[in-house]
Structure 1
Amino acid sequence: MKNLVRAFLLGLLVCFFSNAQDIQGPHFGKGILNISGEDSTWSMNFTTRFQLLGSGTWQENESGSTDFNSDFLVRRARLKFKGFAFTKDLTYKLEIGLANKDIDGASYYTDYTDKFILDAYLQWNFYKSLSIRVGQAKLPGNVERLISSGSLQFVDRSLLNAEFNIDRDIGLQLLNEHYLTPTFLIREQFAFSQGDGRNVTVGNMGGYQYTGRVELLPLGAFKNDNELEGSALEREDKPRLMVGVAYDYNDDAVKTKSNKGDFMETQQGLYQTDITTLFADAVFKYKGISLLAEYANRSAEEAIAIDHQGIPTGDVVDTGNAFNIQGGYLFENNWEVSGRYTHLDFDQEVQSTMEENQYTLGISKYIVGHNLKLQTDISYATFANQSDVVMARLQLELQF
């Protein structure tokens, strides 16, 4: 797989640079290259982006002194291809991750191959607002996960998303939207997927995963779908509100976080249990004001994995609930001040660190919207049974 990706990227670069003198790209932030067929039966938009992150953490150790750790890394580095094929009603997206955090490791379940592929799907708008999506994509879970990592209000998503989101999987999705009144928009999305996460190659190891999400927009649609972007860069001239609810059921799940986390292995195979995840969220924007709130809950039929003799294996499903609220104000010069509070409350039987609260203050400068921005934030986290942690981060984002 590595050789295949390298060959693909090399071929792309050769084609691009061999014709560079004849190509004029689009405006900054609209992709590096736009190509369309001579007969208008296909198109491709190619974009790339990366994030450079520096962070430091401070935590008191058992001796009473403070430990300091720092990290400097390429947080994300991605290539995106999207467009239509044969007809404009048939669109596609391919997104490849190149950074270590994007790849997320190799294992037996991925044929010991790094997980380069993030999105790979076709979407067919077959009737009015009804579309069907086939392939690997984000599942319709919490709104924070549906927002692109390149369009976040803070350096990264909240702890709620880190612990409870259901991320990507491969399968089929049905999408629809309609107006209840001239201004009351309703969106529905349903997904049927394998339930084991992205890039799994060894076959379905449990049951299947079923996900549904409904969104209510009583005050009308947001400008340019900016409910799925952090901050208030569109500066809505009228108040806009979206309220969403999502439900996910993973039948005979084999991972500690539904279709994420670690595989729960035993000597006889994989431990299986039904896992249910519920999300409720809301997004509000008006002029320079933006607010986002969300709640998550995960439960399992049997949270503690056991072997054939009934002995715990050490693996547990991360059950519990979380709440996150964040907001910001965007000034006319595109500087933004934002704040976030996140509360995690895990079930006692599955987590020794049952409760965590995190308070975050962020400052962002949007130089060219989300395509070129500098973000910094500082967080203070408290735990039920360990020392508090302070974390500071600074990140540069560039998207072509």
Structure 2
Amino acid sequence: MKEKYSMRGVFTIVFFSVCLFYSEYVQAQIPIDASWGKGIRVEAKDSSFSLKLGLRFQTLYEGEKYLESGNWNEQLLIRRYRLKFDGYAFKPNIKYKMELGISNRDTRSGGVDEIGHTANIVLDAVVKWEFTPGVELWVGQTKLPGNRERVVSSQNMQFVDRSLVNSRFNLDRDIGLQLRAVQGSGVVFREAFAISMGEGRGVVVDNPDNGRQYTTRFEVLPMGLFKSKGDYVGADIERQPSPKLAIGVTYDYNKNTPRSRGNLGSFLMDTDNNFIYSDLSTWLVDAVFKYQGLSWNAEYAHRSSSDEVAGFGYGKGFVTALGYVFKSNYEIAGRYTTVEPIGVNSSIGAAEEYTLGFSKYIVGHSLKIQSDVSYMDTTNDYIRFRVQMELAL
């Protein structure tokens, strides 16, 4: 019932927002700019604000064949449905971003322990203030400066979905402050520092013993910037005219978290319904190379703690992928993933995954069809087949 009312509230807000901006347009003739895949953009005549409205969804078919039992499971669903608002307020150096996830997969809680503790509709609600050229202060809820695969938008993925390494070790979103800087031209350096709550997006848990989360990331682009920010887009659909390489390292320390994977996972509780805490340390290293349709990327993750408490996701993982986009905008790509637990108390299960993907980019990542087939080597081996269509306005 709560989900029904919350969804109704979301659509009410969206409806009145559209009505408001249409009314402003009619009365003040605010310029409107719209193109496929770029959203609908309005800007005040006095340049006091701008707003871009975008929406997108993914329709996914997934089938799994379990090799030991011979069982075949399948599903057809709206994997993601997102509404996105961004622009600037008052001055062009004060930007904002708001994003809502409103599919059933987006809004449902991740486990029994999370029901009533998390709000999954609001993904991003952040203000970005560029107070000096190349340096921004971010305030609000958004993605932490974690592994590249997670920071790449789910609209711009190279495969149907992200890898097991990402699902087990990514930092996801949190509420707090971030300071980000970009330096250089020939060789480019990026730095990011974040202090956040440490329990994920929308958490409203009464946790008097909570700590904080501290994240720092450093990137170097020795061959300069990628065309069209291609280092954070899956596949080389821009066909980089010269070789481009980016290398990133992230360290994250999440103090006194009650969730099994820090910002994600179940809240762990003892038999007396008291939270169980652990301090999680996570290292994330990634690299991406692109040139004329060829793309290669790799990521390594390692999560540990000085006091490994049962149920937390201690482990390590590695993923690498190689792909090529033909001039016809078809792509073939392969990916290898391995995940290993650390210690006997870890909630991470050992697994290896081999994935072969095929994509057709009709209008870049704004209109595409992707498919992949994977072999999963785990305690219950299976083969998975997926087909997904993405449409973004």
- Same fold judged by TM-score > 0.5? yes
Equivalent residue of 2:167, what SS?
A: helix
Tell me how far 1:19 sits from its aligned partner. 9.2
Give the unaligned 5+ runs of structure 2.
1-5
Cα contact 2:315–2:346 (8 A) shared by 1: no
Using the alignment, how far apart are the partners of 1:260 and 1:352 within structure 2?
13
- 2:218 is aligned to 214
Using the alignment, how far apart are the partners of 2:166 and 2:347 within structure 1?
20
- State which of 158, 178, 184 in structure 1 corresponds to 2:187: 184
Give the unaligned 5+ runs of structure 1.
306-315
Amino acid at match of 1:387: N
- 2:321 is aligned to 326
Matching of residues 186-335 of structure 1 within 5 Å: 186-202=189-205, 205=208, 206-266=210-270, 267=272, 269-305=274-310, 316-335=311-330
Equivalent residue of 2:265, what SS?
A: strand
Amino acid at match of 1:30: K
Greater alpha carbon shift after TM alignment, 211-220 vs 1-10 = 1-10
- 1:30 is aligned to 38
1:77 aligns with 2:81: yes
How many residues are matched? 382
Amino acid at match of 1:333: S
- State which of 141, 144, 148 in structure 2 corresponds to 1:143: 148
- What value does the CA root-mean-square deviation take over the aligned residues? 2.2
Matching of residues 47-196 of structure 1 within 5 Å: 47-61=54-68, 65-105=69-109, 111=116, 114-179=119-184, 182-196=185-199
Using the alignment, how far apart are the partners of 1:231 and 1:299 within structure 2?
31
1:377 aligns with 2:372: yes
Tell me how far 1:113 sits from its aligned partner. 6.7
Equivalent residue of 1:77, what SS?
A: strand
Greater alpha carbon shift after TM alignment, 108-117 vs 363-372 = 108-117
1:358 aligns with 2:353: yes
Using the alignment, how far apart are the partners of 1:261 and 1:304 within structure 2?
15
TM-score for the superposition, normalised by structure 1: 0.90
Amino acid at match of 2:322: G
Using the alignment, how far apart are the partners of 2:250 and 2:119 within structure 1?
30
Amino acid at match of 1:155: V
Amino acid at match of 2:37: G
Using the alignment, how far apart are the partners of 1:204 and 1:38 within structure 2?
47
Amino acid at match of 1:278: W
Tell me how far 1:371 sits from its aligned partner. 0.1
Using the alignment, how far apart are the partners of 2:151 and 2:181 within structure 1?
16
Tell me how far 1:268 sits from its aligned partner. 5.4
Using the alignment, how far apart are the partners of 2:242 and 2:8 within structure 1?
51
Cα contact 1:51–1:76 (8 A) shared by 2: yes
Amino acid at match of 1:271: I
TM-score for the superposition, normalised by structure 2: 0.92
Identity %: 41
Tell me how far 1:34 sits from its aligned partner. 1.1
Using the alignment, how far apart are the partners of 2:388 and 2:381 within structure 1?
23
Tell me how far 1:57 sits from its aligned partner. 0.2
Equivalent residue of 1:7, what SS?
A: helix
Using the alignment, how far apart are the partners of 1:296 and 1:172 within structure 2?
24
